[in-house]
Structure 1
Amino acid sequence: MDFSLNQIFTVFMVLFAVIDIVGNIPIIIDLRKKVGHIQSEKAAIIAGVIMIAFLFVGQRLLGLIGIDVNSFAVAGSFILFFIALEMILGITLYKEEEGETLTATVFPLAFPLIAGPGSLTTLLSLRAEFSLINIIIAVLLNVLVIYVVLKTSARIERMIGKNGIAIIRKVFGVILLAIAVRLFADNIKILLA
């Protein structure tokens, strides 16, 4: 499969929902208050590099331990399912360890907040179903959105408000849940065949 706008849009939406940069605006604002300044460009670029590198190296790592992409996609669908539940129900199933950091731009912002376990697992899961070039373009588009959101996070929060962010989070949670179910169904068929 080659270049496809349909695939790019689907992958973009999945990553946008998993990364949940809009839902993370309160965390970003809190980080800004703690450390004073966040380098938006650096955070977005580092997150993008981590995601694209994992897209290439992740599959080789799986090969070394004898796991195929379809099995990983099924496992990834469970992670997406639980992330979606967190978004829809407003609960926390996975808690990040918090601690004082030297630089909030790289840790915890670029990794693991943006390029975290959810987005990295999602990338490899999507690789089982979508063309590599379309995934890379979707990652780059997400990096661009991440940069814009980081740069204008305070303004976005004032504009949308806490209720608006909560609604967006729930809508993307439902979309993500549907994608998780489809990813599971498509790949479990291949494994059971």
Structure 2
Amino acid sequence: MELFISSVITLCLVMDPFGNIPLFISALKKVAPERRKTVLIRELSIALCISVAFLFLGKWFLNAFGISSYSLSIAGGIILFIISVKLVFSNDDETHSSPKEEEPFIVPLAIPLVAGPAVLSIIMILSAQQPNKLVTLAAVLVASVINSAVLMLSFPISNLLGKRGLAAIERLTGMILVLMSVDMVMKGISEFMKGGL
């Protein structure tokens, strides 16, 4: 149970729904209000399918390319560290690319904003380390539901918290992810030292 809760929290932090709110609002700004909910559900469903696929194919992926679990842990930690540093030192005045005229499809909402490199790396690490895939699957589903609930309320939450409130949450998330990324790298190094090449 402790591992399940830890996995859910980790995935929720890496998915960073509050940090993605401004990006989702930007991407959906020119989508008709009555279509936004449909587009969001579609994109979040695609992201979930990709995440579940990585969960079950993660071990095969590692074996097929001869990647050891400690290499994945170190690489995932580095990716997570880069993302977390960007969250901590993000510029409030930073402007993201303007949304396209047409509805966003898969890119950028499903990939890489929800099912990005860090999320997929974490899922593959959990898949490689957790023998019971059902526990990890449940963690992915719960984290996805929480992430989806926040993003479905993007516009109301943005209005409630304001720009500074969202920035504060984003920086706090970044600080937590920095610690998690360092821990992942250290665990990978520790595993390498124990097992060697």
C-alpha contact 1:70 1:128 (8 A) present in aligned 2: no
C-alpha contact 1:73 1:125 (8 A) present in aligned 2: yes
- Residue 123 of structure 1 aligns with an amino acid whose one-letter code is I
Deviates most, 145-154 or 157-166: 145-154
What's the TM-score once normalised by structure 2's chain length?
0.83
Q: How far does residue 125 in structure 1 lie from its aligned partner after superposition?
A: 2.5
Q: How far does residue 149 in structure 1 lie from its aligned partner after superposition?
A: 2.1
Deviates most, 30-39 or 108-117: 30-39
Aligned equivalents of 1:158 and 1:29: distance in 2? 11
SS in 2 for 1:67: coil
- 1:120-166, Cα deviation, whole Å (9 max, x unpaired): 11211233444533322221112212322232111001111111111
SS in 1 for 2:19: coil
- Residue 182 (structure 2) aligns with: 181
C-alpha contact 2:51 2:115 (8 A) present in aligned 1: yes
Unaligned runs of 5+ in 2: none
SS in 2 for 1:75: helix
Residues 101 and 62 (structure 1 numbering): CA distance in 2 closer, same or farther, change over 3 Å? farther
Equivalent pairs counted in the alignment come to 185
- 1:84-111, Cα deviation, whole Å (9 max, x unpaired): 11111116xxxx9988485415322112
- Residue 153 (structure 1) aligns with: 154
Aligned equivalents of 2:150 and 2:162: distance in 1? 14
C-alpha contact 2:30 2:99 (8 A) present in aligned 1: no
Residues 99 and 151 (structure 1 numbering): CA distance in 2 closer, same or farther, change over 3 Å? closer
- Residue 138 (structure 1) aligns with: 139
Pairwise CA RMSD: 2.2
Aligned equivalents of 1:43 and 1:24: distance in 2? 13
1:30 equivalent among 26, 29, 36: 26
Deviates most, 149-158 or 129-138: 129-138
Q: How far does residue 179 in structure 1 lie from its aligned partner after superposition?
A: 1.2
Residues 97 and 116 (structure 1 numbering): CA distance in 2 closer, same or farther, change over 3 Å? farther
Aligned equivalents of 1:102 and 1:154: distance in 2? 19
Aligned equivalents of 1:137 and 1:175: distance in 2? 23
Aligned equivalents of 1:97 and 1:59: distance in 2? 36
C-alpha contact 1:74 1:125 (8 A) present in aligned 2: no
- Residue 35 of structure 1 aligns with an amino acid whose one-letter code is V
1:1-193 alignment, distance < 5 Å: 4=1, 6-36=2-32, 37-38=35-36, 39=38, 40-90=40-90, 100=100, 103-130=103-130, 132-193=133-194
- Residue 67 of structure 1 aligns with an amino acid whose one-letter code is I
Aligned equivalents of 1:155 and 1:140: distance in 2? 24
What's the TM-score once normalised by structure 1's chain length?
0.85
C-alpha contact 1:77 1:125 (8 A) present in aligned 2: no
- 1:50-69, Cα deviation, whole Å (9 max, x unpaired): 10101111321221111112
C-alpha contact 1:69 1:127 (8 A) present in aligned 2: no
